[in-house]
Structure 1
Amino acid sequence: MKNLFYIIFALGFLFLGSCTFNGQDGAPGPQGPAGPRGPAGQDGQDGQEAFVFEYELITFSASNEYSVFLDFPGDFVMLDSDVAHVYFLYGQTEEGDNIWRALPQTEFTKFGTLIYNYDFTIFDVNLFLDANFNLNELGASYTDDWIARVVVVPGQFTNGRVADSVDFTNYHEVIEYYGLSEEDVKTVK
């Protein structure tokens, strides 16, 4: 009985070994035929990766709860993976170059700490003020006539590059990285 068990075990081992590997040591078989071609994708927007929108004379007030919505232009389609960066015009250098500061931006006022901040969706950007004091105490120099630029950039890869090396707090570096110029800025009314 013992010998019969060993014979069956040995035959089973040889049979399973030859069936499992089929003499090829697990190497893959030949490639099958190509599958059908998938449907064509949507056309891109002329290869442009990033977009700049300028909004002028933005005013924060109690009537809008110190929050302002900036709608993207109707002909612009933002992708779910895109990211919006907002910059405020803070002045000019002696040479006449614009000074742009990335939001969020913190100001220390005589009333307390004031933060200019934002969030965004694929349809708009919401600018808002946050503070550790009553915002009604602010004067026009903090709330009126702001100029903002919203730069929409791809959230994933850019022409096969990863945007790790870009300082997104530096407006000029972002514009240069994405190959944009003043001619690419679209003023939104």
Structure 2
Amino acid sequence: MKKIGTLLLCLFFIAACTDDVGPPGPQGPQGPAGINILGNIFEVTVNFTSQNNYGTLIDFPQEIEVFETDVVLVYLLEDVIPDSTGPIDVWSLLPRTFYLDDGSQVAYNFTHTFLDVELFLAGNTNFSTLGSAFTLDQTFRIAVVPAEFAENPDINVADMQEVVQVLASQQDDFNIQKLE
């Protein structure tokens, strides 16, 4: 009899707990802000000449807001490989050093502020003897990303294609702007 009474009591409590949920409770406090990964990439083509002292200053486009804590990554378009699906761009993260046949070296490098990026040649060679392959019509992609993005160990920032894919997956209106 005790067992039947206990069973009936348990059934009564289970049935009693299946009523309406009731009114919602009060709103809780605001949680911490999440990480908002908004990155921007733009492309420029520049010439390195004696007239510009083998360097050029690129202002960030007005529509790109750059904070002092943002990370600026610069990539050199090093080659374009033909493929049956279309050309494949080969990008290298700066600084990028080339070792010349005479034992000297030349490097593409950059500095930046939250207003602009300076692209320049560095090295121990006479830049006027480099020829147009190193100095004229050099294309760069400049990526501005939050520090949290650049410090993420799951993202290989040396791989331009991976950076583009991750940024595009996080932003509906992502595109690479080409500056004239």
Do these two structures clear the TM 0.5 threshold for a shared fold by scoring above it?
yes
> Displacement, 1:144?
0.3
Q: Which residue of 2 aligns with 1:128?
A: 120
Task: Supply the RMSD in Å over aligned alpha carbons.
Answer: 2.2
Residue 83 in 1 paired to residue 74 in 2? no
> For the residues of structure 2 that align with 1:93 and 1:84, how far apart are their CA atoms?
26
* Runs of 4+ deviating beyond 4 Å: 180-183
Once residues 148 and 156 of structure 2 are traced to their aligned partners in structure 1, the CA distance between those partners, rounded to angstroms, is 16
SS of alignment partner, residue 119 of structure 2: strand
Count of matched residue positions in the alignment of Structure 1 and Structure 2: 139
Question: 1:127-166 to 2 correspondence within 5 Å?
Answer: 127-156=119-148, 163-166=152-155
- Residue 165 of structure 1: CA displacement? 2.1
Q: 1:89 to 1:157 in 2, by over 3 A?
A: closer
Instruction: Find the counterpart in structure 2 of residue 33 from structure 1.
Output: none
Alignment of 1:1-189 (within 5 A): 49-56=38-45, 58-95=46-83, 96-111=87-102, 112-156=104-148, 163-179=152-168, 184-189=175-180
Q: Report sequence identity in percent.
A: 27
2:110–2:117 contact (8 Å) kept in structure 1 = yes
Larger Rg: 1
Question: How far has the Cα of 1:93 moved from its partner?
Answer: 2.2
Q: Residue by residue, what CA displacement relative to the aligned partner does 1:149-181 show, whole Å, maximum 9, x if unpaired?
A: 1011101358xxx61222111101111222269
2:13 is matched with which residue? none
Q: 5+ unaligned residues in a row in structure 1: which ranges? A: 1-46
Please, what TM-score do these two structures have when normalized by structure 1? 0.67
Deviation readout 1:52-97 (Å, 9 max, x if unpaired) = 11112x1001111111111111232101111111111112223111
* Superposition TM-score, scaled by structure 2 size: 0.70
